[in-house]
């Protein structure tokens, strides 16, 4: 019985234990719209109160007061209540809900204040130092900034709680205090209803929200009940966004997209879900104007739909994502954006330093300005010019891993760091360095990167950047026309007629098919050689002719101990051409001028004639070898579909 009761409590928290019985708040106090001289405190009750905020710089002496006459009260619409107009009504809050929005004006910049909510003389919040707020520094002044970035978190589940808790413990351990919290959308699954907001956002993050402003961007799930066009819905009830440039930037006239300043950092928030994303749309026009105006030294943009992702969503295929890349990114980069945070795709993906990657599908060639890892303790931070310089490089961060199920469809080629696990991102900006840290739900740091701005930095796009599939920079092998006479063999590492895994299809194999990590258990198995048409093949590929030109092979091997790597080589019988890889790295290209897989070009004809040729390992092939298990992967090509024969029979030898 106890178990059942626990399950009931867990399933229906709102009816359990009368947990709101002693608590007058149906939404505890939280902060909104901070500037260098003001802030908003918002809370909800289920009953009528005489709302008063007392505040001051000393917790023991809250010597200033905002009375009910200056506190906006919004309510659920009651048909019998004609006193309430559209702007004061709440969209779908439970009946009897009252939302209070208190603007605290005339504050000192960059200052901490404590506050308490009262009902007349009755204190409703405890005398607790966690009920405090800090105003922004004056725009344009230097001030360090530390903020939390979360996306796609609003499940109300265990992982969301763990991600939140990991951030709080990390900050406690490091003695760090958030200056703000950025949410890139999908904060209240499944439809962003008022109840979902209360349970899955406000209740979940309550200890953080009472002293940290959450600046939000709307996700598609909130978009099911809230509309950017008219600013109506539970999302717009929850947030007070600066549509009139109250916190810096230019007035957008809409809460759906806006900007704000924090010292020398300018933030831009866009609605990627339900507004016109075209360059002619009002949002893009506002963005261009806002970028032209700002004189900040750092530029941070965020919105829900990622321009680059292969997580649970694919930015090469989905309309909103494509439009954000093709229409909005050119405007942002022409304005000198430094970093873009998004969500929607349930994964953590962080890019190299990129510029001009607007094509569909996204490619990495010619758009990467720095293909290092950006880690100050690794390849070093990404370098940019001081100030805001157009097209000087952007880092993209997909932080859709804040609490919901994570998954991955593939590999976005501009990414440097990819983790399929829940977590969040912490960003600090101090002077000329921005540092990002991905903290997973267990509190482990999984990625660190930095951008440093100094002097005048000019980048040239890298033609062959680091490849996130292989984890290496591609080394272009020159195609050779043939091998050498087979030398005396000391040992066969992979012998003739060995068992291989093979893939033969009109479609390309998965993109990481040639790496050690790839699992080929679903591939067919067969003994070498492979082919048809010339009676020299152990595994005959009867359906290849007129259908396919390429066969993909994989086989693992381990090197004998103490082996001299310079004596290793491939011995292959082939018709017509092939490319060989060790652990995902191309080591040999025979008879194929350029490209791989379906993109292989200029393939030469070559007859096997039942003979083998020898290809000794060069330095790059030796470097690709691992100490334990290795993968030899080979793509064998026929020069045309209609060809009368095909053969690939690879072996790996140790010569005498």
Where along the sequence are the contacts to other proteins (CB under 8 A)?
Answer: 1, 4, 7-8, 11, 86, 152, 155, 157, 189-190, 229-230, 243-245, 250-254, 276, 279-280, 282, 284-286, 288-295, 312-313, 317-320, 322, 327, 330-331, 333-335, 346, 355-356, 358-359, 366, 388-391, 404-405, 407
Residue 279 CB, shortest distance to other proteins, in Å, is: 4
Q: Which residues pair with residue 577 across a beta bridge?
A: 637
Judged by beta carbon, residue 376 or residue 410, the one nearer other proteins is 410
When computed from its CA atoms, the radius of gyration of the chain, rounded to whole angstroms, is 30
Q: How many CB atoms lie within 10 A of CB 463?
A: 11
Residue 39 CB, shortest distance to other proteins, in Å, is: 21
Judged by beta carbon, residue 33 or residue 653, the one nearer other proteins is 33
Judged by beta carbon, residue 54 or residue 293, the one nearer other proteins is 293
SS3 call for 88:
helix
Residue 217 CB, shortest distance to other proteins, in Å, is: 17
Residue 626 CB, shortest distance to other proteins, in Å, is: 34
In the structure encoding, which two tokens stand for residue 165, read together?
């808790």
Residue 616 CB, shortest distance to other proteins, in Å, is: 41
Residue 164 CB, shortest distance to other proteins, in Å, is: 18
Using DSSP bridges, classify how beta strands 298-302 and 265-269 pair: parallel, antiparallel or unpaired. Answer: parallel
Residue 579 CB, shortest distance to other proteins, in Å, is: 29
The total number of residues shown for the chain amounts to 656
Using DSSP bridges, classify how beta strands 98-104 and 445-453 pair: parallel, antiparallel or unpaired. Answer: unpaired
Please tell me the distance from the alpha carbon of residue 447 to that of residue 437, in angstroms, as a whole number. 6
Residue 82 CB, shortest distance to other proteins, in Å, is: 16
DSSP 575-597: ESEEEEEETTEEEEEESEEE--G
Judged by beta carbon, residue 250 or residue 654, the one nearer other proteins is 250
Contact 211, 180 (CB under 8 A): no
DSSP 10-72: HH-GGGSTTTTSS--EEEEEEEE---SS-EEEEEEESS---EEEEEESBTTB--EEE-GGGEE
Residue 451 CB, shortest distance to other proteins, in Å, is: 19
Using DSSP bridges, classify how beta strands 298-302 and 71-76 pair: parallel, antiparallel or unpaired. Answer: unpaired
Judged by beta carbon, residue 172 or residue 405, the one nearer other proteins is 405
What backbone phi and psi angles, to 5 degrees, belong to 89? -90, 150
Judged by beta carbon, residue 85 or residue 535, the one nearer other proteins is 85
Please tell me the distance from the alpha carbon of residue 332 to that of residue 309, in angstroms, as a whole number. 18
Judged by beta carbon, residue 4 or residue 17, the one nearer other proteins is 4
Contact 497, 538 (CB under 8 A): yes
Nearest to 191 by CA among 234, 244, 153: 234
Judged by beta carbon, residue 68 or residue 285, the one nearer other proteins is 285
Please tell me the distance from the alpha carbon of residue 379 to that of residue 145, in angstroms, as a whole number. 24
What backbone phi and psi angles, to 5 degrees, belong to 391? 55, 35
Residue 13 CB, shortest distance to other proteins, in Å, is: 14
Judged by beta carbon, residue 1 or residue 619, the one nearer other proteins is 1
What backbone phi and psi angles, to 5 degrees, belong to 293? -85, -40
- Assign 3-class secondary structure to 258-327: EEEEECCEEEEECCCCCCCCCCCCHHHHHHHHHHHHCCCCEEEEECCCCCCCECCCECCCCHHHHHHHHH
Judged by beta carbon, residue 70 or residue 232, the one nearer other proteins is 232
Judged by beta carbon, residue 44 or residue 327, the one nearer other proteins is 327
Residue 358 CB, shortest distance to other proteins, in Å, is: 4
Which whole-number Å values give the CA distances from 283 to 143, 249, 275, 412, 633, in the listed order? Answer: 29, 14, 8, 27, 49
């Amino acid at each position: 019985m106890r178990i059942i009761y626990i399950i009931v409590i867990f399933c229906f928290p709102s009816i359990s234990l009368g947990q709101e019985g002693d608590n007058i708040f149906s939404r505890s106090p939280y902060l909104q719209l901070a500037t260098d001289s003001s802030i908003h405190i918002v809370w909800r009750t289920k009953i009528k109160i005489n709302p008063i905020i007392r505040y001051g710089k000393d917790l023991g002496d809250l010597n200033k007061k905002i009375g009910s006459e200056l506190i906006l009260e919004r309510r659920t619409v009651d048909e019998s209540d004609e006193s309430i107009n559209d702007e004061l009504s709440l969209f779908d809050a439970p009946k009897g809900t009252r939302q209070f929005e208190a603007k605290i004006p005339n504050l000192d910049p960059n200052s901490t204040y404590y506050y308490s909510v009262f009902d007349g003389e009755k204190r409703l919040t405890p005398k607790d130092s966690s009920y405090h707020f800090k105003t922004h520094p004056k725009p344009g002044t230097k001030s360090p900034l530390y903020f939390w970035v979360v996306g796609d978190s609003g499940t109300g589940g265990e992982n969301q709680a763990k991600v939140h808790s990991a951030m709080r413990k990390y900050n406690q351990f490091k003695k760090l205090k958030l200056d703000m919290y950025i949410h890139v959308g999908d904060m209240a699954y499944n439809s962003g209803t008022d109840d979902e907001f209360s349970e899955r956002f406000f209740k979940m993050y309550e200890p953080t929200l009472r002293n940290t402003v959450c600046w939000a961007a709307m996700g598609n799930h909130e978009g099911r009940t809230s509309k950017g066009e008219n600013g109506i819905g539970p999302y717009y009830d929850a947030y007070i966004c600066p549509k009139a440039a109250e916190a810096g930037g230019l007035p957008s006239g809409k809460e759906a997209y806006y900007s704000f300043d924090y010292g020398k950092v300018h933030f831009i928030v866009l609605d990627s879900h339900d507004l016109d994303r075209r360059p002619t749309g009002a949002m893009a026009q506002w963005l261009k104007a806002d970028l032209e105006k700002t004189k900040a030294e750092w530029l941070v943009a965020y919105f829900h739909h990622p321009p680059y992702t292969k997580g649970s969503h694919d930015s090469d295929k989905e309309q909103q994502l494509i439009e954000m890349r093709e229409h909005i990114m050119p405007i942002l980069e022409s304005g000198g954006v430094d970093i873009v945070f998004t969500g929607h795709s349930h994964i953590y993906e962080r890019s190299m330093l990129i510029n001009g990657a607007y094509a569909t599908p996204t490619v990495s060639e010619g758009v990467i300005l720095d293909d290092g890892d950006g880690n100050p303790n690794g390849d070093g931070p990404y370098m940019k010019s001081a100030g805001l310089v157009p097209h000087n490089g952007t880092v993209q961060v997909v932080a859709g891993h804040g609490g919901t199920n994570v998954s991955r469809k593939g590999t976005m080629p501009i990414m440097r760091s990819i983790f399929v696990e829940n977590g969040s991102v912490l960003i600090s900006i101090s002077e000329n360095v921005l540092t990002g840290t991905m903290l997973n739900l267990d509190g482990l740091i999984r990625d660190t990167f930095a951008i440093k701005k100094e002097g005048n930095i000019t980048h040239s796009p890298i033609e062959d950047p680091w490849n996130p599939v292989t984890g290496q920079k591609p080394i272009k092998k020159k195609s050779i026309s043939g091998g050498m006479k087979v030398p005396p063999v000391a040992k066969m590492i992979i012998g003739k007629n060995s068992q291989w895994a093979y893939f033969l299809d009109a479609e390309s194999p998965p993109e990481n098919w040639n790496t050690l990590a790839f699992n080929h258990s679903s591939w067919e198995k067969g003994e070498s050689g492979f082919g048809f048409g010339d009676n020299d093949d152990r595994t005959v590929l009867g359906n290849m002719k007129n259908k396919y030109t390429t066969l993909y092979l994989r086989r693992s091997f381990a090197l004998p101990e103490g082996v001299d790597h310079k004596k290793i080589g491939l011995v292959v019988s082939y018709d017509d051409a092939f490319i060989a890889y060790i652990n995902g790295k191309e080591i040999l290209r025979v008879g194929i001028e350029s490209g791989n897989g379906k993109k292989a070009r200029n393939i030469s004809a070559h007859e096997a004639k039942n003979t083998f040729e020898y290809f000794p390992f060069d330095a790059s092939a030796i470097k690709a070898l691992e100490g334990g298990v290795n993968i030899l992967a080979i793509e064998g090509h026929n020069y045309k579909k209609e060809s009368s024969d095909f053969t690939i029979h690879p072996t790996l030898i140790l010569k005498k």
